[in-house]
Amino acid sequence: MRIVSDNVQLIHPSLHGAVTRKDAPPIITAITKCVASGIHAIDLNIGPMGTQDPTVIPYLLDVVRSVTPLPLFIDSPHAEAARQALDTGHPDIHVNGFSLQPRRLDAFLPLMVAHEQAHFVGYLLTEAGAVPTAQDGRLQVAAALFTAVAARGAHLLDRLIVDPVVVPLLWDEGAFQALEVIRTLRALDELAGRPVQSMAGLSNLTSGKVPEAKRRLMEHTYIPLLAEAGLDYILMNTNRKESLRAVHAANLLTGGLPFSWEALPTETP
């Protein structure tokens, strides 16, 4: 599993203000802290940023790229924000994401066709934007998503990253939903008839008012399940150092390489 930090929340007032004022130091500090955690990519949660001032997103990416060449996921429901990011020409810019909702399909799929180097995250949500609740509901949505993407070109499936949508355990049937995510991940390749990339948001699992010790316990229990199911990208809070170590340990067990105690970090940066 490749670790994607979800800690750069540009919808947070402090960072949002820094970007809109074009004040680089707070942005650089946030990105530097993420990179120091030993991650593989960064999710930039920009929300509606860029829809009013088209200079903001290019500025943001220039600042981020001054710190790191790591892959960046532009996390926004607005296709215009994604377009602005992709049009900067910076390498390794990807989009998070879209779903079967007609307006989002219509807005994001043309971008996927036009930008051949970018990967796009597709959420397993119904056309109404809801999380499937029935058993195998996510697989039914995945089949429809594959069909919709392939209609624009079967080769686009190579750049699709499927997010089965982890929901909070506190939801009705939250434990059932958590296991549905695992079952879905295991079945994606067979359903598509080809290898399928996947991403899941670990932080969603324990969102809400949860004692920190219990949050850690559930994250550490779920991480190896995700790894064994073949998850490619784990989107997570990289300030939770014990959870980072759990990901590294799970990768050692499931990565197919000879095991080495030396490869297991006892401390995470």
**pTM greater than the 0.75 cutoff:** yes
Beta bridge mates, 96: 75, 121
Return the residue matching tokens 């390794």: 92
Return d(Cα 11, Cα 78) in angstroms, integer: 14
- Please give the CATH topology (third level) of the domain spanning 2-263: TIM Barrel (3.20.20)
pLDDT tens track for 208-252: 899 999 999 999 999 999 999 999 999 999 999 999 999 999 999
If you average pLDDT over residues 174-181, what whole number do you get? 96
Residue 189 has pLDDT above 70, yes or no: yes
- Better-scored residue on pLDDT, 128 or 264: 128
pLDDT tens track for 4-13: 999 999 888 8
If you average pLDDT over residues 159-184, what whole number do you get? 97
Say if CB 60 and CB 90 are below 8 A apart. Answer: no
Supply the pLDDT for residue 260.
86
Q: CB-hemisphere CA count at 13 Å for 35?
A: 15
If you average pLDDT over residues 18-37, what whole number do you get? 95
If you average pLDDT over residues 120-135, what whole number do you get? 96
pLDDT tens track for 32-46: 999 999 999 999 999
pLDDT band at 268 (very low <50, low <70, confident <90, very high): low
Say if CB 156 and CB 194 are below 8 A apart. Answer: no
Supply the pLDDT for residue 74.
97
| Assigned token pair, 191 | 């359903």
pLDDT tens track for 203-215: 999 998 999 999 9
Q: Which of 50-64, 121-135, 160-174 has the lowest average pLDDT?
A: 50-64
Domain extents in the chain: 2-263
Residue 92 has pLDDT above 70, yes or no: yes
Supply the pLDDT for residue 269.
54
Return d(Cα 3, Cα 254) in angstroms, integer: 15
